[in-house]
C-alpha cells in the first residue's frame, strides 16, 4: 500500500494546484479526460513497463539460479541485494527527483536499465553467465528503479489537474496488479523457450519506456523540472515550500546545503504534518503484517499439501481482486467519506484474516485475499491523493522517497516476521490467528486516532 485531499497546507493548496491544472490542460485549454491526456498516458505506460519488467525479473532470476544449480544462499543473496539497493537508494532518490529534471532523470534510469538487462541476456546467449554479473544487474536495477519511482510520483500532479488527481491515482493503483497478473506467466513462458528470453523482453520494455519518455512534457520553470538548482536556489525553494520556520515539529530550518540537508527537509515535512505522519505509520504497520501473512499462508498451504496449480490460482486471486479494486477505486473514492474508507479497510482486514484461519487452505483463502486486494487500491487512493495534494512540488520527490523507504522496510521485514510467527505458533493456522490479532491492534489504534477518524475530505483539507 502507498499514499492523500485537496486543500491548503502552507503553500500546497495554492501554487501547486495551479501548476497541476496548467500542466493538465495547457494555457487557455479546457481540461481533457485522462484517456486523452497524452502526458499522463505516457507517464502511466512508462511505469507499467517498469513494473512488468520487475515482475518478470522476480520470477526469471530464481529460475535462472535454479537452472544454473545455484544454491539457496545465492537465491537469498540476490533477493536481499535487491531489497538493500532499494532501501539505500530511495531516500536520496527523492532528493534527486526534487532537484533535477524529472523527465531526464527517468529517461536516464531506463536507458541504464536497458544496458544492464541487455548485458545479462547477451552473457546468457554467449554462454558467459556468471553469478556476480547477475547480482550486479539485480542491484543496479533495484537502485535505478528506486530513483525512477519518486520522480514518476512527483511528476504526476504536474500532468494531471487537481480535479482529476484522485482518478489518476486510482488508475495508477490498478497498474501493479496488471503487472502481477501478466509478468510471472510471461517470465515462465519465455524462460522455458530460451533462458535469456525474459531478460531480452525486459531490455525491450525499458527501450519502449525510454522512447515514451522522450515525448513526455513537464511544465518548465518549476522545482525538479529544470536544471539542477544552485545551493542558494535550493534553500529558497525549500523555505518557500516548508515555510519560514520549517516543517518539522521543532521548527528546524533548512540552512545546510547538500543532499543530507535536502533529505532531512523531506523527513521534517513528513513529521510535521500529522495526517501524513499518521497515515504513513498506519500503512507501514499494515504492510508489515500483510507481508508476514502471505508467508504464513504459503506455509499453511504446504502443511495442507495444496497443489502448485491451486496455489498459483490462490495467488492470482490477489491480483484479480486488486485489479478490480483499482478500476473502481476512483468512483468509490468520490462516493465514500475518507474515514469510512480507511477504518473500513482496517476492520475488514481483521475479519478476513480471522476467517482465513477457519477455511481450508488454497482457493477459499485466495477468495479472502481478493477481498483485501479489492479494498487496498481504494485506501491507497485516499491516502496518496492527500499526500500529493498537500505536499509542495519542491518536496514531492522527497515525500515519495520517505514513503518508499517505509514500504520497502515493511517488505523486507514482513517475510521474516511471517517465518517467526509460524515458528512461534507451531503451525500455520495459529500463525494466521496471530496475524489477525496484530491487525486487530492496528484497527483499534486507527479507530482511536483522531487523525484517521477525521481524515480530511478532498476539498476541505485544512
Higher pLDDT, 6 or 193: 193
Same-domain status, 44 and 134: yes
Distance from C-alpha of 162 to C-alpha of 74, rounded to nearest angstrom: 47
* Assigned domain for 236 exists: no
Same-domain status, 194 and 113: yes
Same-domain status, 125 and 191: yes
Higher pLDDT, 256 or 195: 195
Give the CATH number, domain containing residue 362. 1.20.1250.20
- What are 371's strand-pairing partners? none
Mean pLDDT in residue range 47-65: 89
Higher pLDDT, 173 or 342: 342
Does the reported pTM lie above 0.95? no
Same-domain status, 387 and 290: yes
Residue after which a domain boundary falls, among 213, 235, 256: 213
Same-domain status, 209 and 275: no
Mean pLDDT in residue range 97-114: 93
What is the extent of the structural domain holding 112? 15-24+32-213
* Assigned domain for 431 exists: yes
Task: Name the band, by pLDDT with cuts 50, 70 and 90, for residue 409.
Answer: confident
* Assigned domain for 418 exists: yes
**What pLDDT does residue 461 have?**
38
Domain count, the chain: 2
pLDDT tens sequence across 355-404? 999 998 888 998 999 999 999 999 999 999 888 888 888 888 888 888 88
Distance from C-alpha of 65 to C-alpha of 78, rounded to nearest angstrom: 10
**Cell representation of residue 332:** 468509490
**What pLDDT does residue 21 have?**
41
Mean pLDDT in residue range 296-313: 77
Same-domain status, 282 and 428: yes
**What pLDDT does residue 28 have?**
43
**Which three-class secondary structure state does DSSP give residue 461?**
strand
Amino acid at each position: 500500500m502507498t499514499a492523500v485531499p485537496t486543500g491548503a497546507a502552507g503553500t500546497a493548496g495554492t501554487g501547486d494546484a495551479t501548476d497541476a491544472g496548467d500542466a493538465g490542460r495547457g494555457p487557455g485549454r479546457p481540461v481533457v479526460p485522462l484517456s486523452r491526456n497524452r502526458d499522463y498516458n505516457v507517464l502511466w505506460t512508462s511505469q507499467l513497463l517498469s513494473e512488468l519488467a520487475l515482475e518478470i525479473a522476480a520470477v526469471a532470476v530464481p529460475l535462472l539460479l535454479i537452472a544454473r544449480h545455484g544454491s539457496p544462499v545465492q537465491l537469498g543473496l540476490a533477493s536481499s541485494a535487491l531489497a538493500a539497493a532499494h532501501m539505500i537508494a530511495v531516500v536520496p532518490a527523492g532528493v534527486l527527483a526534487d532537484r533535477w529534471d524529472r523527465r531526464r532523470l527517468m529517461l536516464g534510469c531506463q536507458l541504464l536499465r536497458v544496458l544492464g538487462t541487455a548485458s545479462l541476456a547477451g552473457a546468457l546467449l554467449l554462454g558467459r553467465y556468471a553469478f556476480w554479473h547477475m547480482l550486479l544487474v539485480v542491484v543496479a536495477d533495484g537502485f535505478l528503479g528506486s530513483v525512477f519511482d519518486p520522480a514518476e510520483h512527483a511528476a504526476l500532479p504536474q500532468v494531471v489537474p487537481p480535479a482529476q488527481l484522485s482518478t489518476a491515482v486510482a488508475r495508477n493503483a490498478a497498474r501493479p496488479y496488471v503487472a502481477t497478473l501478466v509478468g510471472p506467466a510471461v517470465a515462465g513462458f519465455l524462460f522455458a523457450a530460451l533462458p535469456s528470453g525474459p531478460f531480452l523482453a525486459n531490455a525491450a520494455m525499458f527501450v519502449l519506456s525510454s522512447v515514451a519518455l522522450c515525448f513526455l512534457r513537464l511544465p518548465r520553470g518549476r522545482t525538479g523540472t529544470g536544471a539542477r538548482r544552485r545551493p542558494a536556489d535550493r534553500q529558497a525553494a525549500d523555505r518557500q515550500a516548508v515555510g519560514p520556520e520549517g516543517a518539522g515539529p521543532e521548527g528546524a530550518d533548512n540552512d545546510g546545503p547538500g543532499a543530507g540537508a535536502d533529505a532531512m527537509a523531506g523527513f521534517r515535512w513528513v513529521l510535521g504534518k500529522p495526517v501524513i505522519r499518521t497515515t504513513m505509520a498506519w500503512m507501514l504497520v499494515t504492510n508489515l503484517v500483510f507481508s508476514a501473512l502471505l508467508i504464513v499462508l504459503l506455509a499453511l498451504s504446504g502443511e495442507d499439501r495444496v497443489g502448485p496449480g491451486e496455489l498459483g490460482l490462490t495467488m492470482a486471486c490477489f491480483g484479480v481482486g486488486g485489479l478490480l479494486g483499482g478500476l473502481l477505486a476512483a468512483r468509490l473514492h468520490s462516493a465514500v467519506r475518507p474515514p469510512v474508507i480507511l477504518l473500513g479497510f482496517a476492520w475488514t482486514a481483521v475479519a478476513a484474516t480471522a476467517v482465513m484461519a477457519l477455511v481450508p487452505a488454497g482457493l477459499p483463502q485466495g477468495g479472502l485475499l481478493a477481498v483485501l486486494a479489492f479494498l487496498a487500491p481504494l485506501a491507497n487512493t485516499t491516502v496518496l491523493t492527500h499526500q500529493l495534494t498537500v505536499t509542495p512540488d519542491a518536496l514531492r520527490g522527497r515525500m515519495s522517497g520517505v514513503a518508499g523507504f517505509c514500504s520497502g522496510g515493511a517488505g523486507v521485514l514482513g517475510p521474516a516476521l511471517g517465518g517467526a510467527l509460524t515458528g512461534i505458533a507451531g503451525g500455520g493456522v495459529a500463525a494466521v490467528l496471530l496475524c489477525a490479532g496484530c491487525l486487530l491492534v492496528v484497527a483499534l489504534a486507527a479507530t482511536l486516532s483522531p487523525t484517521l477518524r477525521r481524515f480530511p475530505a478532498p476539498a476541505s483539507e485544512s
